[in-house]
Amino acid sequence: MYLLLQLVAIVLAFISHKHEAIAQYVPPYTSIVVPITKHTDAAKPLYSIQIMTSFVNMQYLHANFLIDIDAPLIWHDCILQWNIYPGSCPNNTLCTSPVSCNEYQCTDVRTTYSYENPSCPPVTNSSTLPGWGDCTCPVNAVNPVTGACDQVLLNYDEFTVNTSNGKNVFTGLYGAYPNAACAPSSSFASFPANVSGVMAFSSSPYALPAYLFQPLKKTLALCLPSNSSTRGVLFFGSGPYYLLPNSDVDLRSQLSYTPLLKQSDSFGYFIGIKDIIVKQIYCNILPSNTTTKLSTTEPYTTLRTDIYKRVVKAFSVATIGIPRASPVVPFGLCFKSLTRGPQGGLKFPEIDFSLENGKNWTVSVANSMKQITEDVTCLAFVDGGVTPEHAIVIGTFQFEDNFLQFDLENSTFGFSSSLLNKQTSCSNFNFTLTDGN
């Protein structure tokens, strides 16, 4: 009996030690990381990330997805196939498993998380897959390039990305298994070349962040590149985050923070802007705390007409000595360059977004002035009309070479203002693969 008790004690001690070792294990990564590419070959500048989509013939296939922080659902070029097995999927095609119209995800997405507007056709349960005999689940998605409604088929998907400690990219991989949707190749005709999907990073339960679990913290960090020849970086995880050449400086130390706001009819992200300031000239926007949308698909900051006029007036006063040029669509205020080169050597003022918690987000000249030709530079803010859906929408030109952090757990938005003023840029992350052990 004594020997039996000793044996039991040894086994329990072993189990306890094993559980303790598992509990103490800390993975070498703090985030996942993917490169960002800027595209200028569509109707407007857009930004994509590259994701590993499936493992075929001992290697991963890759696909490029537009970054959309507003979309409620991931959708991309793929086909549904029942009983997927090796060799059954057509060449150069991504096959995924279907969600049936009888499953709860179908009803959930249709009634709560898919787009509903007059351009969207009604969804039905009439379609089936050969050899399956059950109905598929069509849902609606809006094309971020054209604004048209596409009908897509809900699926069970799989995405794979690299892990990182914020400074290095590891060979170790992280898998996510979302409910996404398949669309025909024709749906992406308006997209940039080689981009065949929309990756949703919104607060929707069907966006990618909802499928990224421990040890990752619910934090999205974006750093958009300012040209198409270099790569920016997207992290999902708590950080730290480093850019060369300042590889000992955690970018979190460079951030100011303001609350992230929610709107009941949107899964996107919003902040509160109290005023817009141009060289100490206050524009006195109304209301005095305007809910402002953040967008990764709108190219320039768009202002309601009354706000736009106040900003243009203030900017005109602050640049009284700089000769004007004829406006270039979509911009309303343009300037003649006195010398050749970026901004023609002219001294333009910075613009401050005065935020609701007393912080200022400074929009540098690199993010406020768009070089149109060697001789013409325009204020990169756009008149959004008298009654737009949102009074202010901050677009991607104002994001470029700024480090932005969306803390989805604590509902805060971190912003660095221009990294160019800190002698680095969004194109300075080291994507060299290393062993994370």
> Dihedral, CA atoms, 173, 211, 428, 369, nearest 10 degrees?
160
146 burial level (CB within 10 Å; 0-12, 13-18, 19+): middle
pLDDT, tens only, 379-397? 999 999 999 999 999 999 9
- The contacts of residue 66 (CB under 8 Å, 6+ apart) are 46, 47, 48, 144, 191, 195, 197, 198, 199, 297
Q: pLDDT-derived band of residue 17, with 50, 70 and 90 as boundaries?
A: very low
What share of residues in the chain are helix, strand, coil (percent, to 5)?
A: 15, 35, 45
| Tokens read off for 364 | 């540098």
C-alpha closest to that of 362 among 426, 415, 308, 322: 415
Cα three-residue angle 232-234-238, rounded to 5 degrees = 140
Q: What is the pLDDT of residue 16?
A: 44
Q: With CA atoms as reference, report the closest residue to 233 among 362, 365, 400.
A: 400
Q: Quick one: pLDDT band at residue 61, thresholds 50, 70, 90?
A: confident
Q: Is the predicted pLDDT of residue 281 greater than 50, yes or no? A: yes
Query: Bigger pLDDT: 343 or 218?
Result: 218
* C-alpha 336 chain-centroid distance: 34
Residue 4 has pLDDT above 50, yes or no: no
* Gap between the Cα atoms of 195 and 191, Å rounded: 6
Single pTM value for the model? 0.90
Phi, psi of 177 (to 5 degrees): -130, 75
For the chain, domains (ranges, CATH) are 31-239 (2.40.70.10), 261-407 (2.40.70.10)
Q: What percent of the chain has pLDDT over 70?
A: 89
In the three-class reduction of DSSP (H, G, I as helix; E, B as strand; rest coil), residue 107 is classed as: helix
For the segment 90-106, what is each residue's pLDDT rounded down to a tens digit? 777 788 999 999 999 99
| pLDDT tens string 293-336 | 999 999 999 999 999 999 999 999 999 999 999 999 999 999 99
Tokens linked to 343: 């901004």
